Each structure stands twice: as C-alpha cells, then as structure tokens.
Chain A
Amino acid sequence: MTISIPPTSKQPQESIQPRGWLRYFSFSLDHKVIGLQYLVCGFIFYLVGGALAGAIRIELASPISDFMPRDVYNQVLTLHGTIMIFLWIVPVVNGAFGNYLIPFYVGARDMAFPRLNAVAFWLIPPAGLMLISSYFITGSAQSGWTAYPPLSISTPAAGQIIWILSVLLLGGSSIFGGINFIATILKLRRPGLLLMQLPMYCWAMLGTSILVVLSTPVLAGTLILLSFDIVAHTGFFNPVLGGNVIVYQHLFWFYSHPAVYIMVLPAFGLVSEILPVHCRKPLFGYVTMVYSIMAIVGLGLVVWAHHMFTSGTPPWMRLFFTIATSFIAVPTGIKFFNWVATLWGGRISLNSAVLFSCGFIVNFVLGGITGVALAQVPFDVHVHDTYFVVAHFHYIVYGGSVFVIFSSVYHWYPKFTGRMLNENLGRFHFFLTFVGFNLCFAPQHWLGLNGMPRRVAEYDPQFTFVNQLSSVGALLMALSTLPFLFNIINSILRGKVSGDNPWNALTPEWLTSSPPPVENWLGDPPLVTEPYGYGITKEPNVEDLTEGDNTGASTK
C-alpha cells in the first residue's frame, strides 16, 4: 500500500529553531509553539481587559460619574471591548486551540503555511501594545468598539486612528489564520482520512475560517474608508459632507455579526471534543452537528441588520432580518440537544473541564434565548442599546466562549505541559466564576428592561442597588482568576506528571507523548477514523499505518 507520508517537507527546520522555553519568544514555525504563544498572549490581554472591566464596574457602583472623567470612561469602555474581542476571544478560540489541535486532527506535522502562521501570531502583540499604549500617549479611541461615525470622526483623531490601525493588523492576522486553517483542513489531511471522520473542532474551524475570510476584508475596507474620513476629510460616512452614517453600520455589522460566530463556533467545536472524552461516550449526532455548523455559517452571513433595528431600517428589512436571525436558533438548538444527549447515559467525570463545559451550556442557552427575543423587532426597539443587550452578549461571549476556553485549558493542559492541574482548585475556580458571572450579568437584564442604557458612566439612582450587585459579581469574577493563575503556574513547576494520555482519549493529539515531539508523532501519524469511539465493545478503531489497513488493529 503506497501512501504518501504527510508533508515532512513542511517540518520546521530544527537547526534554526531555538529550543527550550526560548522558543516561545521566537519566530517559531512549530504550530504547537504558535498555539501556546496565542494562548498566553491572549490571556495576558485578557487580564488587561479584565482590569478595565473592573474599572468600569467601580465607576458603575455609584450612580454619578465619580471614579474617572467621562471621556476616560469612554476610552476604558472602548479598550475593554476591543481587547476582549480582538485580542482575547478571537485569537484564543481560533489561533491558540486551532493551531495547536488542527494539525493533530488532520494528521499533519504542521499547518499548511507555517511561516504565514508565525506572521499571523506576531502581528498580535504589536497591535495590542499599540492599542493600549495609545491610552497613555494620545488618549485612546472613545467611540465604542463599534466606532460608529460621525462620533468616531468627531472624537480626537489620534486615538481613533491608532484604534483603526491595530484593528486592521488584528483583522489581517485573523485572515491569515483563516486561510491557513482552510488549507490545512482541506489539503493536509492524512491520506485515508475522510472529511466526515474529522473531529468536530475541524468542522467548527472550517466554518469559522470561511466566515473570517468572507467577512473580515469587509471590515478592513470599511475602517480604511473611515480613516480617510478622519484624516483626509473625505465624506464617505460624514453626513456634513454628504456621507451616509447608516452605510457604515451595514458594513460594520456585515463583519461583526459573523464575528460573534467567529468567537463562538470554535467554542462549540471545543466542547464537542471535551464532552465525549469525559463522558466516555461518542459525540451524539455527528452528522447533524456538521450540518448545523454549516447552517450557522450560511445564516450567520445574512442576519447583520438585527443590530440596526432602530437605525431607521425600513419595515421589510426589519422583518427579513428578524426571520433570518430567529432561524439561527434552529441549528444552534440542535447542537445543544446533541450535547445534552452526549451527557445522557455517559460515565461523566465531574472534573473542571466538564464543569466549565456544562457551565457553558447553561449560560449559552440563556444567551440564546435572549438572542431570539432580541431578534424580534418589536421586542428589540425597547431594549436595544440597553443593559439587556449587555447581558445578552456577555452570556454569549463570557458565559459561552470564555467558559469554554477555561474548560479547554483544563482539558488540554496535560497535553501542553505533561502535568496535571489541581482538580480541587479547578472546581473552586469554576464555582467562583459561575456564581460571580451570573451575579454580575443576570441582574443586567432587569436594568435594561427598566431603563438603563448601555455605555453610560452615570445613571438613574433607582438602579444603584442592582448595579452594586453586578459589581460584586464582577469582583468575584476577578478573584476567581487567582486560583486559576496559581494552579497554572504551580502545576507547571510541581504538578503531578500526567503521562501521555491521562484521559484515555481517542482523538489523535493524545496518541503521542505529552508534550508532543516537534514532529507530533515519532512514527507515522495514526489514522483515527473514529475519534469518538468510546464504549464500543471491540477495541477502538485506531489503525496504525505500519500495520496496514486491516481493521481492529489497535495501538493500546
């Protein structure tokens, strides 16, 4: 049987690559190093974004604007949103786990374009530093992460331009990543491995990357036009010069609604990897999972104007986008029922990874329900741009994506480091995060319904108590980071050695040593045609290439 061995030629040239911890600070071409670079870099930005969130919640603990000047508040708010989206969630759920896992899943030794991959990562730290330092040098952007003109044209130009430049760099990084993922998943698959045998995260990343490649360039173009309006006084979006401010919103949301799926589809994929391992059961409904990802990708491209129901949108457009948006709930619902069915009848280890994944399910269901409600025009015209929307998207982005990131760290930490995290600390981290999160964001639904708009530094005193409740929740969330950080650092130094496959998982990244060698597997990549074959009476269907294509051969 002749099978061409997956691209050994793409293997990083070890001679010029630094080894040891130094390689994490180098222009490494190893997808595993790049993945961890994304993860750690993203987490550092998360701490910065979290500190900004803390500042916001301190300001909002009292109804008057007393903690910081009003324009600084708007800068903090803008930085918080931009950092969390572009420097934490998007790079981590895509870049970090995508780079680390996808080559394993497709049975390759690296990504399709290792050099592009390293470039994509190394765009991020300078872009992030530029964005944050703009606060100290010129004052940063203060028109929200949406940067709607004409506000973004009339606020101080320097900060806004730096904001645009860094978002452009980050968007470029994201596009490079997307191209790389598509190429890797479609072209670098190990011979004999069919698309419908890939672990679900590959499908999620394929869908996400399609969204990235289709929609991010639109954002880039839009921001370039906006920067012309700011520096060259052109009039694309400036109404004083005959521009149209609504066109900007359409273009912006054409990217930014898909962006919410760019933040959450990979999370769906990660959960689909984590649950089967710890429930010892196959992922329920593989085929419907794949179709629902693709349905979400398709529908996700035609729902953007649900962010613009009060922007003078004509009735027919309001109705079209209501219907399209509501229907996203169908494929999304399928996925949730499938996960619950995956739990059902399993042998579930109640460890930190599972707790965070289940926390994700609970939180995201609530966020999805408020999402469908928001999609209804008559409902939305009351709560649009209020704290209700703030609650909705934090249930999605924090309760969803961030919970999944934590879950994934607990799940793959032994793979990254060869050591186990402390489970008790992990569970403590979960409970603190879950309680803090819900205490912080659940009351915000009520605030929005009763009259508190978003993006304000001062509010009606009748909302004081509920805002303070929310701030206490935020404090708990901040504290919950400490056991996590301690656990991560402590376990690297003296965690229990995990062995290669502490979870007895079947997906290919576990069929090698932990941490893996540079070439991922010392021998040939295993052919895993049934990544979720838990509970089969016969031995798992892991074929070893060297043993030919006879079935039933097993590595364990």
Chain B
Amino acid sequence: MRFPLPNPSAIFTLLLCIGLAIAGIWVGDNVNLLPIDASTNAPVYDELFRVLFIIGIILFVGIVGLVVYSLVRFRRRPGELGDGIFIEGNLPLEILWTAVPAIVVLFVGIYSYDIYDRMGGMQPLQFNGHDHHLMVSEERIFGGIGTGAVEASMDQLNAPLPIEVTAMQFAFLFHYPKGDILSGELHVPTGQPVMMRMESKDVIHAFWVPEFRLKQDIIPGQPTILNFTPTKPGRYPIICAELCGPYHGGMRSTVVVEDPDQFQEWFGKNAKETSLEA
C-alpha cells in the first residue's frame, strides 16, 4: 500500500510509532490518576484503567500529532497559490482505519468483559448467601457487582457480612441484621466479603466509595445489591453520586475499614444480640 504523497520514510514512521507506543506504556505505568485501592475490586479496576489509559494516550497523541504535523507541513506559505493534491480516497487506507478501531474496540470489549467477570459482575446476585432467608425471591433485585471473593465465602470462616442500607434525603443508614446494629457510619472488616442490600426511602441516591471503585444507585421501590471485599484499613468517604436535592453535595458518610479484631470489638460493643458467628 503506497501513499502517493511526500511523507517520512517508512522506517522513520515505524520508529516513531514504536516510540509513541513505548512512551504511552511508560506514561500509563508511571502516571497515577487514581486514589488508593482498598477493595479486592480496585486492583482489577486499576488494571483495566491502565490498559485503557495506555491505548487512549497512544491514540490521542498519535492523532493529535498527525493533525499538528499536517497543519505545519502542509500549511499554505505566503505567496503560494494553487490547490492541494486531488485525492478523493484510498480504499486500502480506509479499510485499514476501519479495521484498526474495530480491532482495538474488540480487544477492549473482550478485555473489559474479562475484568467484569473477575469483579464478579457475571455472578448471579444474592443477598446473604444460602443459609439465611432475607432475600425475598420475587423481588426484582438487580445491579451491583458481585465479588470475586464470594465463592470463597462458602467456607464458613469467611461468610459474607450482610448489611442493609437505607438512603434518604440526605443520609445513609446502615443496618447489620446479625447484631441488629443501626449505624450512620459503615464499619467493615478487611478480608470479609460484604453484601449490601440497598433501598431508598425517597428519591434516587447512589452509594459510591472511590477507593473501592464501586458505585450503585439506590432506588426507591427497587432494591439493589452491592458486594465488595475491603482490603485496606482506613476511613474512606461514602459519597452520594446521584442528584437527590439541595443537599446532595453534603450527602456523605464514611466507611471505616478495620482489622477483623477491631471490627469485632466495634461489633460486640454495638450488637443488640450476641449472635456473633461471623
């Protein structure tokens, strides 16, 4: 395929492309745009982010480079008259740049499916595992993302922790059915899967913890589920991400991720019953 125009020699172009690719990968690996990762979900997310970031940087710099290069190289110099070259198209080239985006997009799609699967997105969502019966089966419960660690939860030591979340203008309420605890702050232990069933009392809200890379709307009349497994102790913001009224910006809470013993301590102090098999 020849491009019948004065352009840099093929080798130079190739080198430029390789250089661009290397630079893109370097930037993707070294520029961090994300907050710390604090759930099993987050490192998987960051992997996807890095790949998309690298592809994005390469495409962006490549295309912008081409535009700027063309503008400089083919600019009309003072006193120059006449037209450019009469080329109306070039089928092989057009096929090439149909195929390249198609392949990139196909790759991105398959890769992100894999990521989604690893996040547990394809697992059927259940609330509270098998032995409890909080889930009403005829309820339409959708959404959320499962967690890769939920399978591990079959083993009793690491049974998932069920939490019922209620959102209202302009607060979150967390209810732990096991100890009948009602709290405005979410306490969760590291390493244990958490299963949240969320419902709104008034308008739509959303539960978002940037450090977990997870978000799920909380919808009136239609409970949603969100599962995650925290990994790093710390206090992270819970942010309402859906416009819910004048104080939407102030609708925040905190998730306190603690070591399991610390969590047990908090749980024991607040629990109304002593059914602490978790």
Contacts and interface: CB of A to CB of B under 8 A. Distances in A.
Which of B35, B102, B112, B239 gathers most chain A CB within 10 Å?
A: B112
B76 A349 contact: yes
B70 A326 contact: no
B80 interface: yes
B210 A327 contact: no
A347 interface: yes
Interface stretch (A123-131, A214-222, A409-417, A448-456): A448-456
A369 interface: yes
B142 A313 contact: yes
Contacts of B222: 239, 244-246, 312
Main secondary structure of the interface of B (DSSP, over half): mixed
Contacts of B220: 150, 239-240, 245
Contacts of A239: 220-222
A385 B215 contact: yes
A428 B217 CA distance: 45
B202 interface: yes
A330 B122 contact: no
Given A310-B206, A450-B35, A144 B215 contact: no
Contacts of B108: 326, 372, 376
Interface in B43-99: 44-45, 48-49, 52, 55-56, 59-60, 63-64, 66-67, 70-71, 74-76, 80, 82-90, 93-94, 97-98
Nearest to B118: A378
A154 B248 CA distance: 14
A399 to B, nearest CB: 12
A451 B254 CA distance: 13
A287 B89 CA distance: 9
Given A310-B216, A312-B224, A322 B112 contact: yes
Contacts of A322: 109, 112-113
A343 B67 CA distance: 8
A314 interface: yes
B70 A346 contact: yes
Given A279-B74, A329-B101, A453-B241, A285 B210 contact: no
A425 interface: no
A4 B55 CA distance: 55
Contact of B245 (A155, A350, A453, A537): A155
A70 to B, nearest CB: 4
Given A334-B97, A358-B67, A534-B86, A246 B219 contact: yes
A333 B84 contact: no
Contacts of B248: 74, 453, 455-456
Contacts of B204: 148, 150-151, 245
Interface string A36-64: 00000000000000000000000000000
Interface in B202-260: 202-204, 206, 208, 210, 213-217, 219-222, 224, 237, 239-250
B196 interface: no
A330 B121 CA distance: 26
Interface in A308-356: 310-315, 318-319, 322-323, 326-327, 329-330, 333-334, 336-338, 340-341, 343-350, 354
A451 B105 contact: no
Given A154-B202, A382-B213, A534 B83 contact: yes
B145 interface: yes
Contacts of B66: 340, 344
A240 B221 CA distance: 8
Interface residues of B, number: 84
B136 interface: no
B159 interface: no
B74 A345 contact: yes
B115 interface: yes
Contacts of A354: 71
Interface in A499-556: 532-537
B143 interface: yes
Contacts of B214: 381-382
Given A284-B88, A314-B142, A327 B206 contact: no
A268 to B, nearest CB: 15
Given A245-B221, A345-B5, A450-B210, 11 more contacts: A314-B142, A326-B105, A344-B70, A349-B75, A369-B60, A372-B105, A376-B116, A381-B213, A382-B210, A386-B208, A453-B248
Q: Top 7 closest A-B pairs, CB basis?
A: A239-B221, A456-B249, A312-B143, A333-B101, A535-B86, A346-B84, A70-B246
28 contacts: A70-B246, A148-B203, A151-B245, A154-B202, A279-B84, A280-B84, A282-B88, A284-B87, A285-B94, A310-B216, A318-B116, A322-B113, A326-B108, A329-B101, A333-B100, A337-B94, A337-B97, A340-B63, A340-B67, A346-B84, A348-B70, A361-B67, A376-B108, A379-B49, A381-B215, A455-B243, A455-B249, A458-B249
Interface of A: 65, 69-71, 73-74, 142-144, 148, 150-151, 154-155, 239-240, 242-246, 279-288, 310-315, 318-319, 322-323, 326-327, 329-330, 333-334, 336-338, 340-341, 343-350, 354, 358, 361-362, 365-366, 369-370, 372-373, 376-379, 381-382, 384-386, 445-446, 449-451, 453-460, 532-537
